Structure 1
Amino acid sequence: MRRLRVRQELWLGVLGVLLAFGVCEAVSRAGLVRRSYLPPASEVLARAVELAGDSVFLDGIGVTLRAWALGLGLACAIAVPLGLLLGSVPLVGAATRTVVELLRPLPSVALIPLVSLLLGSGTETEVTLIAYASVWPILFNTVYGLGETDPLAKDTLRAFGFGRLTVLLRAELPATAPFIAAGIRISAAVALILAVATEILSGFGEGLGIFIAQAGLATDGTRDVLAGVVWAGALGLVINGLLVRAERRLFPWTPEHRETAAQGATR
């Protein structure tokens, strides 16, 4: 049943993409919107495919992905230990709650001038902003996952004389791991958005965002802008798909993946 539902969702997603493609194509071809504002979707797609053979453009993609990976990795290195600390020691969580709630709503894009002033213009600024924005989903998912740990498992370990660290490593961390993975998946999308947005707003260097920003300044750059957006969306789709697949392989015991794993075992 779940496999059938997944296939239905997949085909509905494909149908939605084809419908949007057709609408954009028809609107442009019919002249309802000037082609300088909205080129035909077929031309945009053709340009996006053409960019796959442009070594300079692909180098820019590599720069963006490198900043994305560094920022997301830094966010994981900060958020997971901090979340475990805040979630397992109530006193620390209560003491830092105000600071966390004060910092969390601050948009990373608004911090670009300050971070650029402190770190200069370059990868360091981009990675810092990506990490700042990506920390929060991982941090809160970690804290929430600790709160959802089965009390019986923790009480059993304590009854056998195990200390807090052992309870954390043997009971709480395995139970929290799926929540952490979900937070990383959410942060991966946030990190990609920040990577491209930071490049666009900074206006210098290399990367996918720089390509989009420079295309936007060209006389007939709308097609290139939209082609860059298609690439950004495709990257996000691929990254999310890979992370979802990794979650299913690493945590098959979770309710949302258990049925899929059982069906795969019976094939």
Structure 2
Amino acid sequence: MIKGALGLAGFAVLLEVLPRLGLVPRQHFPPFSAMCTALARQAARPAFWSAVAGTLEIWFLGLAIAVVAGIALGIGIGSVPVLRAATASTVEFLRPIPSVALLPLAVVLFSAPLRSILLLVVYASFWQVLIQVLHGVADVDPVARETADSYRLNRWQRARHLVWPTALPYAMTGIRLATAVALVLTVTGELFIGGTDGLGEQLSLARNSGDDGVAVMYALVIVAGLLGVAANLVTRRAERAVLAWHPSVRREVAL
């Protein structure tokens, strides 16, 4: 934590020094102090907090849909070898498609900006969770499978006592990755689609408002970055709490 804070402090100093030394044009890249001043002014405006709330709402909603769908389908597909083999090529084909490439499709399919952005967020985040859960289901110990066979556990009991404990660490990793991806796509969707009054749309307005908006634009970028850092800290804490029984977490705590 201390090293991370020192790294951020060093980066802030670099952002302050570069424009003052003339290494980057100040009209396009103001000093960090100017960004902080613009951020303080924005924080005094109710519209700023409304934009943050709007971004958080889309972010959480899209992430929740992606997590539920990814875990459910991951366990369902991964638990049936024939189904996993049949869908493997489809998954490998769809997974690399950039969500940004779906922007035109999202606009055409949904007239409401919220639904268009949610499509991008869910699509990008879903694969992070699904792939991890599929790996987790495939990692179930063969000896444990044979034990479940000897005890004649039904499908629900297998999922509850055999598959889920093995897949859970993978699922938590997928959720952590999906959290960051969902934030990126939320701001991107707001920036290019608009109509949601979120941080992305405020970024677009600041970018088009001339020299006065440059510092505001970077201030909003800083806010988006801070949201990402906070989300990463929260998901890591949640991961440690949920996986307190797991050997990897116990070793990390011991260190």
Measured against the shorter chain, the TM-score band is over 0.9
How do residues 246-265 of structure 1 correspond to structure 2 at under 5 angstroms?
A: 246-261=238-253
Percent of paired sites with the same residue: 35
Alpha-carbon offset, residue 54 of structure 1:
1.8
Unaligned runs of 5+ in 2: none
Alpha-carbon offset, residue 253 of structure 1:
2.4
1:36 aligned to 27, 36, 43, which one?
Answer: 27
Q: What corresponds to 2:108 in structure 1?
A: 117
Alpha-carbon offset, residue 85 of structure 1:
1.7
Residue identity opposite 2:65 in structure 1: L
Residue identity opposite 1:57 in structure 2: F
Measure, in 2, the Cα distance between the counterparts of 1:191 and 1:45. Answer: 26
Partners of 1:252 and 1:261 within 8 A in 2: no
Partners of 1:131 and 1:191 within 8 A in 2: yes
Alpha-carbon offset, residue 61 of structure 1:
0.9
Partners of 1:111 and 1:129 within 8 A in 2: yes
* CA RMSD, Structure 1 to Structure 2 (Å): 1.5
TM-score w.r.t. length of structure 2: 0.94
Q: What corresponds to 2:11 in structure 1?
A: 20
Q: What corresponds to 1:191 in structure 2?
A: 182
Q: What corresponds to 1:5 in structure 2?
A: none
How do residues 1-267 of structure 1 correspond to structure 2 at under 5 angstroms?
A: 10-220=1-211, 221-261=213-253
Unaligned runs of 5+ in 1: 1-9
4+ long deviations beyond 4 Å: 260-263
Partners of 1:154 and 1:172 within 8 A in 2: no
1:192-233, CA deviations, whole angstroms, 9 ceiling, x for partnerless residues?
Answer: 000000111114331000011111101112111110110000
More deviation, 251-260/237-246: 251-260
Measure, in 1, the Cα distance between the counterparts of 2:248 and 2:28. Answer: 43
Partners of 1:158 and 1:167 within 8 A in 2: no
Measure, in 1, the Cα distance between the counterparts of 2:51 and 2:37. Answer: 19
Partners of 2:140 and 2:162 within 8 A in 1: yes
Measure, in 2, the Cα distance between the counterparts of 1:61 and 1:143. Answer: 34
Aligned length: 254
More deviation, 87-96/39-48: 39-48
Alpha-carbon offset, residue 166 of structure 1:
1.4
